[in-house]
A and B are shown apart, each in its own frame.
Chain A
């Protein structure tokens, strides 16, 4: 938009600020995932504590963003892509706050599981899930910032191994059912797996929001990564 002058500069500046705040949340959330996975697989309660601290910040930012969003909406009556961006931002606010909550769940389990005997296989799988989910978050951020719809459409595909690993975790848990202590530990790790799988879904949702922002169409990504509009026809 280099050939048009912006006459709505203040609003657009404030909108950008709001956006940066929201994106900072997801940035922090991504780091929290790394730390939480490490905490729960390395039995490190200090790291778990750091995750819990970081979540306080995310919750505070969530409240701020909500306030700023409402104020911006009341003072300006955004239309067009500005309106869509506002709609997207308020949803992302919730989504990233939830990501933080999932990390908190993982951190709490790390504390709960402290000192318990571990199954290395399970820890490896958890670490692998973490290594799959964090790039998803990065991809989602980049797709949003660049407005790249195609990049956003890669996310459901990236989510598939995460879902598979989550499904597999049940089998691993069942495998240690004869050892009550391990079982306790493994059951908790199952919940960690589920938390990571949810974080992956939230990244996919992030991608859907990006597509809406850029095209104005609401789409639900199915397993094949195709956007499905509500009249059950593929968008492409």
Chain B
């Protein structure tokens, strides 16, 4: 560079002597990220509610030990997609899924697959915290019990403590494990629900707008928790808060809903990119319009 002053030169020397910057893809680079096989992959999946096609032809691969975020305007089908990953859509009488969802290579919608089994390894945390009307201890122990926990009472207590520690809740509740789950604050209840979900030792944790009912401090704590949990679990989160997706996720999928010729509003996957790329230089115009608020 020309016109370097003595101050510039010393800064340049410093930078050259410490090449810790610039690892990984640059902002705006179209260089492909190395994709290990996904822990969950969907293949041309569509979900119908009766005749209404809620979301169409979704093909996504969610990475192991990553946090993947699904964002998009309301009605775009992101919650529908999330619920189809652990067959919770089965609970809706009119819901029908076409296409495949592979969990470690196995299609969970194949004939003969028991959704109860699927849900043990793919757990879920919901938008509004929903602890059971039982004690804090029982909230966590119940999931283990109904799945056939064979250990002793001591081992159960250890399991509960482990789950609460992983959910960063142990210190706050260790003296009141017998109190009702409802005696906790909203943020604590949600962490209790997370502890409850991880007590069954799942592989994947699905989170449907887990912080939208919480205040900002509680939200941040849960986001921190997600980043810690990432080491042991794969997390897929639906959020309508773009900044949250930007803060916690490794990759983000943007869904959009368009009115088609038949007058139906069907959601589609528009873009699935590494998070920093999607939020600074998205590939698709629809994504750009959405994240800058130039959206209808």
Touching in the complex, A and B, CB below 8 A?
yes
Binding site for B on A (CB under 8 A): 1, 4-8, 11-12, 77-84, 194, 197-198, 201, 212, 215-218, 229-231
B32 at the interface (CB under 8 A from A): no
Contacts of A81 in B (CB 8 A): 288, 292
Q: Does the CB pair B280–A80 fall under 8 Å?
A: yes
On whether the beta carbons of B28 and A216 are closer than 8 Å, the reply is yes
Check if B281 sits within 8 Å of A5, measured CB to CB.
no
Interface 1/0s, chain B 128-158, versus A by CB < 8 A? 0000000000000000000000000000000
Closest to B25 in A: A231
Residues of B close to A218: CB separation below 8 A: 26-28
Is B260 in the interface zone, CB < 8 Å from A?
Answer: no
* Contact for B280 among A11, A84, A231, CB less than 8 A: A84
Instruction: Report yes or no: A79 in contact with B281, Cβ–Cβ below 8 A.
Output: no
7 A-B contact pairs sorted by A residue (CB < 8 Å): A4-B294, A7-B296, A8-B293, A12-B292, A80-B292, A198-B3, A218-B28
CA distance A201 to B2 in the complex (A): 9
**Assembly CA distance A129 to B26 (angstroms):** 37
Residues in A with CB closer than 8 Å to B22 are 230
Tell me the complex Cα distance, A137–B145, Å: 74
B residues lining the A interface (CB < 8 Å): 2-3, 22, 26-29, 242-243, 246, 279-282, 287-289, 291-296
Q: Is the CB of B28 within 8 A of A217?
A: yes
Interchain nearest-CB distance for B268 vs A (Å): 17
Bound together, the chains give a CA A7 to CA B246 distance in angstroms of: 20
Asked whether, in the complex, the Cβ of A79 is within 8 Å of the Cβ of B295, the reply is no
Contact in complex: A80, B26 (CB < 8 Å): no
* Closest chain B CB from A138 CB (angstroms): 22
Known contacts A1-B289, A4-B289, A7-B293; A79 and B28 CB within 8 A of each other? no
Whether B281 lies near A230 (C-beta < 8 A) is no
Q: Please, which residues of chain B bring their CB within 8 A of the CB of A229?
A: 26
- When the two chains form their complex, are residues B293 and A215 in contact, meaning their CB atoms are under 8 A apart? no
- The answer to whether A7 and B295 have CB atoms under 8 Å apart is yes
Q: Give complex CA distance A198, B294 in Å.
A: 38
> How far is the CB of B228 from the nearest CB of chain A, in Å?
24
Residue pair A80, B291 in contact (C-beta under 8 Å): yes
Taken together as a complex, chains A and B put the C-alpha atoms of A152 and B62 apart, in Å, by 40
The distance in angstroms between the C-alpha atoms of A197 and B2, with both chains bound, is 10
Give the docked Cα–Cα distance between A230 and B19 (Å): 14
C-alpha gap A197/B104 in the complex (Å): 61
Cβ of B241 to closest chain A Cβ, rounded Å = 10
* B295 A4 Cβ-Cβ under 8 A: yes
Q: Which of B26, B279, B289, B293 contacts A83 (CB 8 A)?
A: B279
Tell me whether B3 and A80 are in contact (CB under 8 A). Answer: no
Report how far A1 CA is from B288 CA in the complex, Å: 11
The CA of A6 and the CA of B134, in the complex, are separated in Å by: 48
Contact B281 A78 (CB under 8 A): no
